[in-house]
Amino acid sequence: MFKTDDIVKIMNFISEKNFSDLKAILKDMNIVHISDLIEELPTVEALIVFRLLSKDIAVDVFYYLDKDYQQKIIEKITDEETQYLLKESHFDDMVDLIEEMPAAVVKKVIKNTDENRRNMINKFLNYPDFSAGSIMTLEYVSLKEGMTVEHSIEHIKKVAKDVETIYTAYVLNSYRKLVGIISLRNLLIADEKEFVKNIMTETDIISCKTLDDQEDIARKFRKYDLNTIPVVDNEGLMTGVITVDDIIDVIEEENTEDFEKMAAIEPLNDDYLNTKTFTLARKRITWLIILMVSASLTELVIGRSKEVLESVAILASFIPMLMDTGGNSGSQASTLIIRGLALDEIKFQDIFKVIFKEFKVSLIVASALSFLNFLRIYFISGVDIRIAFLVGITLFLTVVISKIIGAILPMFAQKLKLDPAIMAAPLITTIVDTTALLVYFGFAKLILNI
């Protein structure tokens, strides 16, 4: 975020047409800071600043801009400027741009790309959303088995400007099948006359297929500490690579989506401030209606037990505490299990281990909470010992049941090919509330002889 004085200074340079001094300032600025500056300026001034940048810097700055500003720039610059911008762009960045732009902007982008790139773009856009094919790049270093180390290094120097990463090279046979990988480091320390096929890694190559889900790929990056991963088709032919910066974007998107689902909100397609009020309301209201209707179960349980409440009115005062504690207990368990599933630390076959562990945890937690509540209700509030015991035993069972429910529901959701995040706090709380009331009124009738 730029200070107001800095923005005023830049605006003065522009109004005075002092472009030489402004260009000198921009030359010494970091590309991220330049993109931040452009987003702070009005459209006309932002376009002037963008055009003052050297061509190479302009390309890098462009892809750091928010998509709204990218759209404004594409709409305003000439076809010639657009052609250079797209020609120097990495292919995966260009595909991301096209996927997020309105039709008029996409038309201008497509118009200013060569036929080969247009064909590749159409191929990419046909890959399913959230698949490896949709996020991979075609710009990677490939070597042939029969190349020497000397020739390989010369080849890398030639293509370095056009590829996204040079630190890992992929060795292909004459049919473009992936047969090995080799790092730039190993190439540099190897004998120049040595053949690539003799020093490449041929076994344990971690790869993915074009239709693999991007979440599964993110897990591979984390598990094997990768910087890139090769993408192959069903025949093992090299198709592209996915780089760590693309996976970071995937992780951010998936985490955001999980947070939204855990809060019972349909995932947003845009930033919060750029999303219309009606859209925000629509994204929330569906789940609120579902939860409201499901919460009527607690109303039904209370309605059928009104004779218990009428007989011992003080019982009603403990209902909020029982329901809240049960909901919190279930939410704690579900949060840990959802995280474990997301990180691939827990699988469905571990369900009995999870139940047993949560059962042991719940016994400790439930014993402490119920004992403290018994002391509070009986000795401090001076309530009848039978009611204190009733609340204590209900709280104990509620916590135990809540933690087990909170643990197993996300696991069943994943087994049914649903996102475990939907089984988070709001839904679990609704289920636990009903369970707590059934236990409470059931024991009330038994202990108080109502």
Tokens representing 302 are 């209370």
Is 36 within 8 Å of 1 (Cβ atoms)?
yes
Query: Which long-range contacts (C-beta less than 8 Å, at least 24 apart) are formed by 380-389?
Result: 383/314, 386/447, 386/448, 387/312, 387/314, 387/315, 387/448, 389/447
Q: Interior CA angle at 19 toward 62 and 87, to 5°? A: 30
Per DSSP, the residues of 4-59 read HHHHHHHHHHHHTT-HHHHHHHHHTS-HHHHHHHHHHS-HHHHHHHHHHS-HHHHH
**How would you class 64 by CB atoms within 10 Å of its CB: exposed for 0-12, middle for 13-18, buried for 19 or more?**
middle
Percent of the chain as helix, strand, coil, to the nearest 5 = 70, 10, 25
Task: Give the residue from 225, 227, 222 showing the smallest Cα distance to 242.
Answer: 227
Taking residue 167's Cβ as centre, other Cβ atoms within 10 Å add up to: 11
pTM of the prediction?
0.59
213 - beta bridge partners? 131
CA distances from 236 to 91, 163, 228, 239, 311 (A): 22, 22, 17, 9, 74
> Side-chain half-sphere of 237: how many Cα atoms within 13 Å?
7
Task: Report the alpha-carbon distance of residue 401 to residue 366 in Å, rounded.
Answer: 10
Helix (H) or strand (E) holding 153: helix 149-159
What's the pLDDT at 276?
79
Task: Report the alpha-carbon distance of residue 217 to residue 173 in Å, rounded.
Answer: 25
Residue located via tokens 């035993």: 393
Task: Give the residue from 109, 90, 89 showing the smallest Cα distance to 99.
Answer: 109
170 - beta bridge partners? 142, 181
pLDDT along the chain (450 residues), means of 10: 74 87 88 88 88 87 86 86 81 75 73 75 75 86 92 92 88 89 93 93 89 89 91 87 88 71 62 75 73 72 76 85 89 86 86 94 95 92 90 94 91 84 71 87 85
Domains for the chain: give ranges and CATH numbers: 4-126 (1.25.60.10), 141-253 (3.10.580.10), 277-447 (1.10.357.20)
Tokens representing 422 are 């939907």
Tokens representing 174 are 């004459």
